[in-house]
A and B are shown apart, each in its own frame.
Chain A
């Protein structure tokens, strides 16, 4: 059992689950919260590293230069080969529209 300096509380966990749009049963939730807290130690490791002020963040390891970077796309239309095949993947369709349930919204005033 990991003893971490910081811990993700149940409240924070529930917030994350809501943010991630995941429906969990109790067992899953318990397992995930435990595992998350185990893995928090990785974050602590990073915090302890001594980094000079001027070390920049790296989005990619490889360095992109004007010479090896790909050019931007030209503004030319390419017709999609198979729009039908794309929307046929949708679970619920009607008359070429993808159908989803509505969002509950409150309109007061």
Chain B
């Protein structure tokens, strides 16, 4: 087995026990990247070559020199008997939504293509202080607007390692794909409407959306300020727990960070799940959407394969002593997407105001002699269509005459969505759940270019993930099998505020119970030649 295919915990243990050096691990990852990733995403990428369609293209920037320096420093510390930290030598990829000092931090957009960040985001800094080796910045939907990574200004955009004709999901597509393809054991992504969990589901890896405020947002280029959650992507619960433990916790630079101690998530993994109450809700096994012609609500059941994967997980939990409670009502789930449409766009339009060509990023080179024109041209040239769409929608919804009607109303519906969760998680309520078990997405990875032009349908796919963002609660997606096309199916757990420990524990229990299943023996398509070779 290659070093780069080991788990993060295994890699760290290897390095600390000197079975392998951090530099060797780094080399292994870099070699894997060379084998499967293909060319970097770039602005003027030219036409798509055939080879492009067979590669992963997770990266926008590879920071090989600093990674090497970091790895050498780790090895030196170990040689000197010093403690390099809990993430010693673990290679990591960072979604390009995070500012990392000295690297281009692009947000997948032309408007920030030349932005070299003068500071590092807190979660990344914490990983670095703990000894992680940052390999580079990975691709994403432009400004996180999308569910397939295709809207990135840096092309070729990322492809799914399981089938490179399919999307990796988005917006943290690069994060999920890089971990899935063995380029790094862990990645740091962000989840605003499911953007860590959905690509994790599509790429067959674990994706964590922590509770809002659990992980500092300082340095996370903002889109949906009340929704964004940085979180780890990893191959298993243990690795995810390790990273989460490192990055979580209050930060004096984030006024929305929860002032609560961080549990040792690793220790909690081995807790018994006997007696845990896990709910199944019919509202999560269907997609409820309005008929575009009539506006009436239609229901479409989630495909049987996906449903079966979730029910299988329920069986496993039952066999381990958990109680499965069925028919848990979550009636406001279907409003998650329209509420998200409104709230996220108001926040996004405002958050994107700062990209005006004055202080950083793209400024138009055409002669303007006029500030207003400079703004309009810089932003017009720098933003892709998807950001422009969201900005305009945000402007419309928050304009003075509509604000009360649309924006404030959406905030009230958000309360209803939150109440659904409060009621089922209430210790004194009827259901007393420890977690809800649901599918992550209503489909497995769809083909490239399938829905890029039709934003409404792409958005309704977030229906099962976005309620957690509105409510602020944590969620995890973990691999629960493969569908008939051999594509990964994601299973999701949702829990009460700050219950990441329980969710990781449940994920771990599922993993342990399914270690020898057949589908775990199958690897992503891009790796099949590599591994054999």
Binds A, one of B123-131, B315-323, B378-386: B378-386
Is B250's CB under 8 angstroms from A47's CB?
no
CB-based contact B360/A101 at 8 Å: no
A21 to chain B, nearest CB (A): 4
B275 at interface (Cβ–Cβ under 8 A)? no
A85 to chain B, nearest CB (A): 4
Q: Which residues of B have CB within 8 Å of A69?
A: 258-259
A contact residues around B473 at 8 Å (CB): 61-62
User: Chain B's interface: helix, strand, loop or mixed, by majority?
Assistant: helix
Contact A57 B372 (CB under 8 A): no
In the bound assembly, the distance between CA atoms of A21 and B368 in angstroms comes to 14
The answer to whether the Cβ of B116 comes within 8 Å of any Cβ in the partner chain is: yes
* CB–CB A103/B338 < 8 A: no
Q: Which residue of A lies closest to B294 (CB)?
A: A3
Tally the A-B contacts, defined by beta carbons under 8 Å: 197
Asked if A22 contacts B391 (CB within 8 A), the reply is yes
B456: CB under 8 A from chain A? yes
Q: Does A24 lie within 8 Å of B411, measured CB to CB?
A: no
Number of residues of chain A lying within 8 A (CB) of chain B: 61
A44 to B296, CA, bound (A): 11
Spot the interface stretch: B24-32, B180-188, B464-472.
Answer: B464-472
> For the complex, is B48 an interface residue (Cβ under 8 Å from A)?
no
Judged by a CB distance under 8 angstroms, whether B303 is at the interface is: no
Complex: chain A residue closest to B341, CB-CB: A42
Tell me the nearest residue of chain B to A19, going by C-beta. B395
Inter-chain contact A24/B380, CB cutoff 8 Å: yes
Known: A41-B290, A57-B411. A82 touches B118 (CB 8 A): yes
**15 pairs of residues in contact across A and B, judged by CB atoms under 8 Å:** A21-B372, A22-B388, A28-B385, A32-B389, A39-B341, A46-B406, A56-B412, A60-B213, A60-B472, A61-B473, A62-B258, A70-B255, A71-B259, A73-B252, A92-B363
Binding site for A on B (CB under 8 A): 115-116, 118-119, 211-213, 226, 250, 252, 254-260, 290, 292-293, 295, 335, 337-339, 341-342, 349, 356-363, 368-377, 379-381, 383, 385, 388-389, 391-393, 395-397, 399, 405-406, 408-418, 455-456, 469-473, 497
